[in-house]
A = this chain, B = another copy of it.
C-alpha cells in the first residue's frame, strides 16, 4: 500500500500520481470481490463507516455501502433531510457526534464545496468526499481512471473529451485534476455559458463545438445537463443542447475505432446520450458503475489503514 498515506480522500487536486496508482492497483485486486456472487472479505471487520449525506444520492451511497460491506465493515446511514443541518446543529457538531458513537470513517456528500475539508480538519475520523458542491467528486474520477486503464492499458497520452455543464460539475473538476496528473490530454466542450475559458489555466483545452473534437477523442465523457440550467438562461433549451452536444449514433460513428463513451449517470436518454448510443458497443456506462464499487473498496481500505497506522 505504499504510495498512499492520508486517512482522507478529499479531492483529486494535488493528489500525487503515486497515491492514485496505489488506489488503482488495490482496486484491481479487490475488483473480483465487487461482483455479484463474490464472497465478502473481512478486511474491515469491526470498522464502522457512516454515510453522512446532506444531499440525497442513492447511487453513490449504495456504491460506498456495498464497498464497505464487502470488506466486512458495518455501515450506518446518517441521512440529513433537505436543509444541510440537523435542527440548527453545525455540520462539524453533527459529524463529531456521529464519530463519538464509534465511527471510523465518514462518507460525506454536501451541496457546499469544502465541507469534507472542514470535517477533516475538525473531526477525528477518516473523511471520504462523496461529492461537495461544484468542487470535487474524487471517487468518480478514480473510477473513471480505472475504467480508462482497464480498456486502454495506460491513461498517459489518452485524449479525453468531457462534454457538458463543466462550470457546475464536480465530476469534470475531479476528472480534470486526475487525468492531468496521470498524463492524459483533456478537452472540455460545451456552450460558452457552461464552459468558461478560465479552465484553460488548469491545463485543459476548451472547445465550444462538438463536431471537430469527435475524431481525436479516445474517450468521450458526457455529463448531465440540469433542466435548471435552461430556466437560468445558460442554455436556450434542453432540446437545443441535445441537438448541439448530444451523442447521437451519427456522431458516435465518427469517433475513432476503439473510442469509448462514458457517463457518470444517471443518464438522461435523449439529452446527453441517444438511446442507441447508451446501449451501443462504445458505451462503458455500466462498467463505470461496476468499477465504482472496487474503487470505493480501495479508498476505504487505504484511508482506514492510514488512519490506523497513525
A172 → B minimal CB distance (Å): 18
Report the bound CA distance from A46 to B290 in whole Å: 16
Chain B residues positioned under 8 Å from A102 (CB to CB): 34-36, 38, 66, 70, 290, 293
**A7 at interface, CB cutoff 8 A:** no
A76 to chain B, nearest CB (A): 6
Interface status of A98 (Cβ within 8 A of chain B): yes
Given contacts A47-B37, A104-B37, contact A79 B58 (CB under 8 A): yes
- Interchain CB contact under 8 A, B62 and A66: no
A97 contacts across to B, CB distance below 8 A: 59, 265-266, 285-286, 289
Q: Enumerate chain B residues within 8 angstroms of A285, measured Cβ to Cβ.
A: 97
Q: In the complex, which residue of chain B has the Cβ closest to the Cβ of A52?
A: B58
With an 8 A cutoff between CB atoms, is A292 at the interface?
yes
Do A86 and B62 have beta carbons less than 8 Å apart?
Answer: no
Determine the chain B residues whose CB is within 8 A of the CB of A103 once the complex forms.
36
**Residue of A37, A39, A102 with most partner-chain B CB within 10 A:** A102
Copies in the complex: 3
Report the minimal beta-carbon distance from A99 to chain B, rounded to whole angstroms.
Answer: 8
| Interface residues on chain A, number (Cβ under 8 Å) | 59
Provide the residues of chain B in CB contact with A47, threshold 8 Å: 36-37
CB pair B87–A266 under 8 Å, yes or no, is yes
Cβ–Cβ contact A266 & B89, under 8 A: yes
Q: Pick the contact of A89 from B87, B125, B267 — CB < 8 Å? A: B267
Which residues of chain B have C-beta atoms less than 8 A from A265's C-beta?
89, 93, 97
A213 contacts partner chain B, Cβ-Cβ < 8 Å: no
Instruction: Select A101's contact among B48, B56, B66, B74, beta carbons within 8 Å.
Output: B66
- The answer, yes or no, to whether A69 is at the interface (CB within 8 Å) is yes
Q: Which of A36, A38, A87, A125 has the most CB of B within 10 A?
A: A36
CB of A196 closer than 8 Å to a CB of B: no
How far apart sit A125 and B286, CA to CA, in the bound complex (Å)? Answer: 14
Does A74 lie within 8 Å of B63, measured CB to CB?
Answer: no
Among A58, A69, A224, A278: residue with most chain B CB under 10 A: A58
